Structure 1
Amino acid sequence: MNTTVLRKDSATAGTRPGGGTPDRDGTLPHQGGARARRVVGRALLYAVLTVLSAAILVPFAWMLVSSVKLDAEVFTVPIQWIPRSFHWENYTDIWTEIPMLTYLGNSLFLSVVITFLQVLTGSFAAYGFAKIRFPGRDALFLAYIATIAVPWQAYMVPQYIIMQRLGLVDTHLSLILLQAFGAFGVFLMRQYYLTIPEELSEAARLDGLSEYGIWARIILPLSKPALASLALLTFVLTWNDYMGPFIYLTDNDLWTVQLGLRSFVGVYDSQYAMIMTGSVLSVLPILLVFLLGQRHFVQGIATSGLK
């Protein structure tokens, strides 16, 4: 009888409750299969993301290649990814063909000023909606955020009439005033402020700090990632804006780079290579801003108020 028990114990010594005999590294068969499935799933995910990323980057690669071609070679079918000859002179001729430096300066001026004002007004208004209690606060916030759903074309004409009567058409001030306030910025900053504990504001009030001081000395330092996200989004949207400058700016000296590229579009033909060259130059500032603020941008989207 004892011999039978010993045989059963020796037969089951290498098994586990889940079934199966462990491998040399101590891994059960079903665990190895799950690990293999995870590896295969992750590999497929990376493959899909790589294909999607390549598809997104193809237009930019075509633009970059076309910027060193002749006009007749830009729209060849099939696409000639490696030009027969590289015309690097396009990057020097564009500065004499049009006042490119002026256009870039105007775009930079508008983007910086509008971004600063949107961050300032958005963060200040969001503090009132998030941290100050007053009658009708939530209703007013919902009404203000609802303006995001109204298309710009619906109030484009009334805005132009107002700017015209104020004598601000064909000035940068018209674009600055129209874009200095944004409901999206208020919404973004308010949602971020709500993650900051109210105890910090209450303690500051007990210490005698005013609401302006709480906003400037406590809330803003804790909101750097959200501020960076709002600044980056606003800068990119303002830099790439075409319709606003097209409607309000008629003087060539006030044009932005997006309007300036229209100079290469003629009645009978267009300088497509120069358009691509100018497009590459217009993308470089956006790329630089994104690379500098990428860490703060991702952190503002992914984290909460306190570290």
Structure 2
Amino acid sequence: MTTSVTHPRTARGASPASRRRGRSILLTSGLAFGLAVVAVPFYWLAVAGTRSNAEIFDSPPPLLPGGHLADNLATLQHEAQLGRVLLNSLLIAVLYTVCAGAVCTLAGYGFAKYRFKGRDALFGLIMLGLVIPAQVTLVPLFKMTAELHWLNTYQAVIMPNLALPFGIFLMRQSMAALPDELLDSGRIDGCGELRLFWRVALPPMKPALAALAIFLFLYQWNDFIWPLLVLRDSASFTLPVALASLQGLDDTDYGALLAGAALAAVPMAVVFLALQRHFVSGLLAGAVKE
């Protein structure tokens, strides 16, 4: 009598190690494809910023950097005051990030850790700002800014959006995960409310603060409509407004325009890379409750 033994690999197909290797290859291929989809436009943007108008519209399009970067930067400096508008954008974005971050953090802490009459109704009213289009508020905000004589000033760009609904929501959800017992122990030790906020509540919120800082900086850096309305002098333009001014009805220097767009992406990438390790954990803070 002969007994045949079937190997598990032939009975059930591929081994677990082979299946894991296949899934790993498939996942890596998918990630590589996604990276290419995201990275190729940015690469072409950087390449086009070093080319002339005629070269940009060549068929097939150029894939290697050209020799017109200096000319494009000179055009940007001459036509759009590149150095000045970069400084304007950086200063406005940094000031807005600091001020709006303070407002959103304090508001989120108040909504999460204090009980007062009408708290939920007030928070719901603020959350309506997430569904109301920003364009609806442009006219009343512009009238208020004009009456305050703030037109063509930095505060006209910074002040109207300090209490950003998403920022308040993010910090409220993060602060809600902070144990109340921790705050109560600080009060028992004689800690004042402001010191309690600064010394006890704020340090564990570093991931959430990093996520908030990224969001606020990118929000202000990319803002176009509101600075376009309130800034009148070309010397006070932000970078998006200055780049838009390069587009003419009959002629547009696309080499200079794309070089400026490539430069505009650099600070955003630097801020995100500097804070990326806190970004995901900050967005997930408060999402899971014990």
Partner residue of 1:46 out of 18, 28, 41: 28
Structure 2 partner of 1:78: 60
Q: In structure 1, how many angstroms separate the alpha carbons of the residues matched to 2:90 and 2:242?
A: 14
Distance, in Å, in 1 between the alignment partners of 2:129 and 2:162 is 15
Conserved 8 A contact 2:173-2:285:
no
1:213-260, Cα deviation, whole Å (9 max, x unpaired)? 211111111101111110111101111111111111111111011111
Counterpart residue number, 1:6: none
Write the distance in 1 (CA, Å) between the matches of 2:73 and 2:121.
56
Equivalent residue in structure 2 for 1:261, among 243, 247, 261: 243
How far the C-alpha of 1:158 sits from its partner, in A, is 1.2
Residue 31 of structure 2 aligns to which amino acid in structure 1? L
Matched, 1:100 2:74: no
For residue 153 of structure 1, report the CA deviation from its aligned partner: 1.1
Q: Hey, what does 1:172 align to over in structure 2?
A: 154
Please provide the CA RMSD for this pair.
Answer: 2.5
Matched, 1:90 2:71: yes
| CA distance 1:31–1:124, change in 2 (3 Å) | farther
**What's the offset of the Cα at 1:301?**
2.8
Which residue of structure 2 aligns with residue 7 of structure 1?
A: none
Which has the larger displacement, 34-43 or 217-226? 34-43
Structure number with larger C-alpha Rg:
1
The CA distance in 1 between the partners of 2:104 and 2:259, in whole Å, is 35
Q: Give the Cα separation in 2 of the matches to 1:47 and 1:156.
A: 45
1:79 is paired with a residue of what secondary structure? coil
Matches within 5 A, 1:219-230: 219-230=201-212
C-alpha separation in 2, matches of 1:231 and 1:82: 35
Deviation at residue 21 of structure 1 after TM alignment: 6.0
- Where 2:271 maps in the other structure, the secondary structure is helix
Aligned match of 1:129 = 111
Count of aligned residue pairs for this structure pair: 285
TM-score where L is the length of structure 1 = 0.85
Of residues 73-82 and 117-126 in structure 1, the stretch that sits farther from structure 2 once superposed is 73-82
Cα 1:136–1:222 shift into 2, 3 Å? same
Distance 1:197 1:167, change over 3 A: same
Q: Which residue of 1 is the match for residue 120 of structure 2? A: 138
Who is 2:221 aligned against? 239
In 1, are the aligned partners of 2:227 and 2:238 still within 8 Å (CA)? yes
Q: 2:187 is matched with which residue?
A: 205
Q: CA deviation at 1:31?
A: 10
**Normalised TM-score (structure 2):** 0.89
